[in-house]
């Protein structure tokens, strides 16, 4: 919720919806919105992205979707730094076997909630930006042209909804030079 609160703080005429699957996180988001003076412009929804999108009364009405979903592959959780592994809610970290389970839900929600051309920004696992790039290249090259296994890249593009609702705009590195973010657009 803090991402949405920060955006609302910087853009006084904007309104937003913070989707939090954890009731504790949703309550904390409401409290922080009050403290930051943006509660009147923020709706907090205690649901998954998938549940939220299914309940939307008006489709394609959002211009911006930003998410920091759980993106760590399940197999990597035991090897996380103790200060992360031992104190963070596992539900906020575990992105499933490939780390993309919730990312896929967010992208599916974006295709329903986002207006045509809406921007989607995601923080993802350091291996995901390259996967998005391979998938986008496979679409643009008909599944070959040096992107490795063309069929696998096309399958990944399908799973990530590339060419079926969203398109990759770019990938972005974090302050440490690690690939960490993807920017997409709703088609």
Tell me phi and psi for residue 126, to 5 degrees: -60, -20
Q: What is the pLDDT of residue 143?
A: 44
> What would the pLDDT profile of 22-79 be if each residue is shown by its tens digit?
999 999 999 999 999 999 999 999 999 999 999 998 888 999 999 999 999 999 999 9
Provide the 10 A C-beta neighbour count for residue 55: 9
Are the beta carbons of 52 and 109 closer than 8 angstroms?
Answer: yes
Are the beta carbons of 124 and 106 closer than 8 angstroms?
Answer: no
> What would the pLDDT profile of 174-183 be if each residue is shown by its tens digit?
999 999 999 9
Q: Is the pLDDT of residue 126 over 70?
A: yes
Q: What is the pLDDT of residue 144?
A: 43
Q: What is the pLDDT of residue 136?
A: 86
Q: What is the pLDDT of residue 110?
A: 94
Question: What CA–CA distances, in Å, run from 185 to 52, 134, 162, 163, 168?
Answer: 20, 17, 10, 10, 7
User: Which residues are CB-contacts of 42 (< 8 A; sequence separation ≥ 6)?
Assistant: 4, 5, 8, 15, 16, 17, 18, 29, 33
> What would the pLDDT profile of 128-163 be if each residue is shown by its tens digit?
999 899 888 877 754 444 445 566 666 777 767 777
Q: What is the pLDDT of residue 58?
A: 83
DSSP string, 115-131: EEEEEEEEE--TTHHHH
Burial class (CB in 10 A: 0-12, 13-18, 19+), 40: exposed
Q: What is the pLDDT of residue 165?
A: 86
Q: What is the pLDDT of residue 148?
A: 52
């Amino acid at each position: 919720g803090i991402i949405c609160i920060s955006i609302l703080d910087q853009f006084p005429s904007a309104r937003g919806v913070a989707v939090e699957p954890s009731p504790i996180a949703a309550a904390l988001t409401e409290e922080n919105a009050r403290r930051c003076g943006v509660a009147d412009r923020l709706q907090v929804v205690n649901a998954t992205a998938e549940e939220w999108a299914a309940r939307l009364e008006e489709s394609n009405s959002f211009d911006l979707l930003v998410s920091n979903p759980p993106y760590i592959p399940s197999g990597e959780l035991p090897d996380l730094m103790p200060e992360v592994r031992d104190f963070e809610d596992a539900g906020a970290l575990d992105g499933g076997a490939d780390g993309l389970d919730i990312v896929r839900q967010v992208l599916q929600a974006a295709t329903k909630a986002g207006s045509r051309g809406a921007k989607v920004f995601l923080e993802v696992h350091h291996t995901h930006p390259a996967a998005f790039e391979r998938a986008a290249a496979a679409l643009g090259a008909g599944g070959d042209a040096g992107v490795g296994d063309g069929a696998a890249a096309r399958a990944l593009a399908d799973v990530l909804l590339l060419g079926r609702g969203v398109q990759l705009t770019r990938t972005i590195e974090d302050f440490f030079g690690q690939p960490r973010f993807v920017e997409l657009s709703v088609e």
